Chains A and B, each alone.
Chain A
Amino acid sequence: MNNTIIGHNLLIELKREAQKKRLAGGNIYADKIVSDIFTNAEDIVHKNVVRKDKQINWSQKADNILTSKITGYPIMLLTLGAILWITISGANVPSAILADVLFRFQDVLTGIFMYLGAPDWLHGVLVLGAYRSLAWVVSVMLPPMAIFFPLFTLLEDLGYLPRVSFNLDHIFKKAKACGKQSLTMCMGFGCNAAGVISCRIIDSPRERLIAILTNNFVPCNGRFPTLIAIGMIFGAGNLALHLQSAAVAGIITGMILIGIAVTFIVSWTLSRTLLKGEASSMVLELPPYRRPKILAVLYRSFIDRTIFVLRRAVLVALPAGAITWLVSNVYVGEISILAHTANFLDPVALAIGLDGFILLAFILGLPANEIVFPILIMSYLSSGYMIELDSLTDLQILLVNNGWTWLTALCTMLFCLLHWPCATTLLTALKETGSKKWSFLTFLIPTGVAFLVCFIVAQSARLLGLAP
């Protein structure tokens, strides 16, 4: 015991001495060590490694196109659009099948409850509340995730993402932020909590904070389904079937571009106000392109990402569905608790182009963004319009019956894109920054931006007489 303490003190002493020597000699010692290591390594390489020049050429040629001044940006945009298009058009059919199967099973469950003579409230909480929101979350979320995550992991494996950083760095430099922020934004597409963790790759603490505070402006996988559903109903509902997914992909791409623009604006503003400072250095490796290992990609994207995110959504959806059913079916006076709360929120919500139910769904969706749309549908359904929801047309009728216009749809999409991050992301920000102040700002800045943008859009549309 004693020995270790002495040993420990001795080590500290030695370290201090070494530090002093190192600093006294400027960079001489460190430089000498690094040079020697490289000389040795070079010797070993010369003796043992045979280089294939072909591979290097291939990477260079790809880079000539992918990071070119002319084609670099269009390719980035096209890649994003293509991934979204494949996700949306590919998810359509499996989503419908899943919904069909899961809602049919709901009828079976209802039959069992009736056969057993279970009380109405128990059937309501468990089947109409918990099970139905679970069915919604699974059928709406699983197919897009199962397509999006592997596609994205594929891009990651190919080595394309560092090129995106390379292309965008000069814009981040103008915002006095780090070019690697585009990598953390890419992670945010999957999950903002993962995006916040990935901010560790940014060396400067100031720039890392900027990346954490703005990560939420990239819509995560929990918000994509909401954006897709609303885009489908209001943006492409009247188009021919084969045009629909392309139109929705266009709308979502536009939303993402708005999110990226807001990221730049907020980063720029932060660098000049709360997080004043100059742009620091950026060292970015551009690794050679690799042939992706398809099986590894599938495994990683499915087990590590899809199942992980889905599990979290399901765990939240069950209780949230039960609670939503309860508050929408317990009456105080003439109307339910849910309707009371929604009415209370109505004035604020209407000013920003939403309604009380939508704002309430976003608030109840704090634990996980995936459940916002299911909650919204449940609260509309409980307020009188009991219809079967097995197609988008039914969904459109439901929303229009509840007073939705194109402006409601647009503002809901914008609010979904910009509003506060989910609880997991907030907790992750708290863990990563170790500061209550910064994690509170992670909540406050997006919330402020969402209210401001939606307010401006709604009010100007009404002033111009474009919407009621």
Chain B
Amino acid sequence: MQGAKPKNKSQITLSQIKEGSACTIAELHLEGLLRRRIMDLGFVPGTAVQCVRKGPTGDPIAYTVRGTTIALRKEDAAKINVFMA
């Protein structure tokens, strides 16, 4: 479960962000193709991200990053560490 636990206290994972609140990306614990795709879509350390809505069962979760809305599954969002805004 690499990345599931935040490295220090001020960081939580993207999947823990509540609907409507914003955060800044700290680091990505994703590997390979998925890491590249997610970064290409704008999830780069230092970027502001907002959680806009959750799916019917709380999964997937939609985030706004740089004016675009992207939906991620909970497991993937849990591998992205963020700073609360």
Contact = CB atoms under 8 A, between A and B. Distances in A.
Interface string B58-76: 0110100011111111011
A281 interface: yes
A286 B71 contact: yes
B47 interface: yes
A56 B50 CA distance: 14
Contacts of A35: 44-46
A110 B13 CA distance: 76
Question: Residue among A42, A63, A281 with the most chain B CB within 10 A?
Answer: A281
Contact of B72 (A27, A203, A279, A282): A282
Nearest to A73: B56
Q: Output the residue of A64, A203, A282, A287 with the most chain B CB within 10 A.
A: A282
A65 to B, nearest CB: 11
Given A173-B73, A281-B75, A38 B47 contact: yes
A169 interface: yes
Interface residues of B, number: 32
A285 B57 contact: no
A281 B76 contact: yes
B53 to A, nearest CB: 6
Contacts of A73: 56
Contact of A31 (B39, B55, B66): B39
Contacts of A288: 69
B17 to A, nearest CB: 17
Contact of A169 (B33, B67, B69, B73): B73
A170 B57 contact: yes
Given A166-B62, A281-B73, A285-B69, A34 B44 contact: yes
B46 to A, nearest CB: 7
A283 B47 contact: no
A64 B42 CA distance: 24
Given A27-B35, A38-B47, A67-B53, A282 B42 contact: no
Q: Give the one of B42, B53, B59 with max A CB within 10 A.
A: B53
Given A34-B39, A38-B44, A285 B68 contact: yes
A69 interface: yes
A60 interface: yes
B45 A170 contact: no
Contacts of A173: 59, 73
Contacts of B75: 281
B4 interface: no
A51 interface: yes
A42 B57 CA distance: 34
A182 to B, nearest CB: 12
Nearest to B40: A34
Interface string B14-54: 00000000000000000001111111111011110000110
A89 interface: no
A64 B62 CA distance: 12
Contacts of B37: 203, 283
B25 to A, nearest CB: 11
A211 B66 CA distance: 31
Given A169-B55, A285-B70, A179 B60 contact: yes
A167 B46 CA distance: 30
A170 B60 CA distance: 7
Given A31-B39, A34-B39, A34-B44, A283 B72 contact: yes
Given A38-B44, A166-B60, A170-B56, A56 B70 contact: no
A167 B56 contact: yes
Contacts of B53: 63-64, 67
A319 interface: no
Contacts of A124: none
Given A38-B44, A38-B47, A203-B33, A283 B38 contact: yes
A72 B70 contact: no
Kindly name the residue among A30, A170, A287 whose own CB sees the greatest number of chain B CB atoms within 10 A: A170
A34 B76 CA distance: 19
Interface in A31-76: 31, 34-35, 38, 42, 51, 56, 60, 63-64, 67, 69, 72-73
A63 B61 CA distance: 13
Contact of A167 (B33, B55, B67): B55
Interface string A228-271: 00000000000000000000000000000000000000000000
A38 B66 CA distance: 10
A384 B66 CA distance: 70
Contacts of A363: none
Given A38-B47, A283-B38, 20 more contacts: A27-B35, A30-B39, A35-B45, A63-B52, A63-B62, A67-B56, A167-B55, A170-B56, A179-B60, A203-B33, A281-B34, A281-B75, A281-B76, A282-B76, A283-B34, A283-B37, A283-B41, A283-B71, A284-B60, A286-B62
19 contacts: A30-B39, A31-B39, A35-B44, A38-B42, A38-B44, A42-B66, A63-B62, A67-B62, A166-B62, A167-B55, A169-B59, A281-B76, A282-B71, A283-B34, A283-B38, A283-B71, A284-B60, A284-B71, A285-B70
